[in-house]
Structure 1
Amino acid sequence: MLHLGFEERCPPGGEESVVFYTTSLRGIRKTFDDCNMIRFLLDSFKVKYYERDVSMHKQYREELSSISATEEETEAWFVKGRCIGGAQRVLGLHEQGKFRALFEGVPGFSACYVTRMA
């Protein structure tokens, strides 16, 4: 499995799922655009994921801070308890054709199912 090469840092409830920490604030345009790009990729691959908006919920900011490698991380993406990283890492995996392999064993979603916790 591809995700075994990534550091184990599991967000609450992320043992068997995809968790995406994001921001809905447009203050830093690049971060906002990066979050939209990751969301688009996840939706395109029909992956069931849990989106946690750190700009709107203090609890999610604290969660990310407790499992984050750096204080600067505002968007982070976890698959089955492994930290995949931010947008540039995700885009790189997609460009290398390694993105789909990360979701082996992760449930897909139906046309209308995404759990966004905004």
Structure 2
Amino acid sequence: PELTLEFGRIVIYTTSFRVVRTTFERCELVRKIFSNHRVKFLEKNIALDCEYGKDLEERCKRVGEPLSLPVVFIDGHYLGGAEKILDMNESGELQDLLAKIERVQHPHMCQTCGGFAFVPCPMCHGSKLSVFRNCFTDSFKALKCTWCNENGLKPCSSCSQ
């Protein structure tokens, strides 16, 4: 199903967690390579939304590849990780592959989210709790906010693709 949705698109699964430095650095490297080629890509940061992680796990299982960040898909097809992208970039293969991908004319950062593609939830303000008042008593109950993800974030409406 994602093949038709991702035709002519690049999807990069990354993480912004800096706990494992080498993983973070590989994600940064891949992001910079595609930015330098000035192509439009969708970055799915699994540290900001666990649904991206579940999606990536399913996709890697389907193609029989181990889950190791970053992972790049072009036109819905698995391309590889950081080492493969770096090798393709150095050999010129990547340039040929990116010829059909939409270009970014003037790269700019979203003023709403600062380029992170997520903003704090407007309902709970990122607390992940929704305060509910019981109609029969004066007590309040703290419930899980149903508007946002597990980190108290919503996709940015200004730059969502």
> Same fold per TM (> 0.5)?
yes
Counterpart residue number, 2:96: 101
Is 2:46 the partner of 1:51?
Answer: no
| Aligned residue pair count | 110
Name stretches of at least 5 consecutive residues in structure 1 with no aligned partner: 1-8
The equivalent position to 1:40 in structure 2, one of 32, 40, 44, is 32
Deviations 1:80-102 (A, max 9, x none): 12211100000011111111111
1:50-81 C-alpha deviation (Å, 9 max, x unpaired) = 00001121110011011013453232001112
* Identical pairs, percent: 23
| Mean CA deviation greater in 36-45 or 64-73 | 64-73
Partner SS for 2:79: strand
Answer with 63-72 or 102-111: which moved more.
63-72
Which of 29, 32, 35 lines up with 2:21 in the alignment?
29
Deviations 1:8-48 (A, max 9, x none): x9578322200000000001111100011111111111010
Query: Which structure has the larger Rg?
Result: 2
Higher relative contact order (CA 8 A, sep 6+): 1
RMSD: 2.3
Which letter does structure 1 place at the counterpart of 2:38? Answer: K
Q: Unpaired segments of 5 or more residues in structure 2?
A: 110-114, 119-161
TM-score, normalization by structure 2: 0.61
The SS at the match of 2:44 is strand
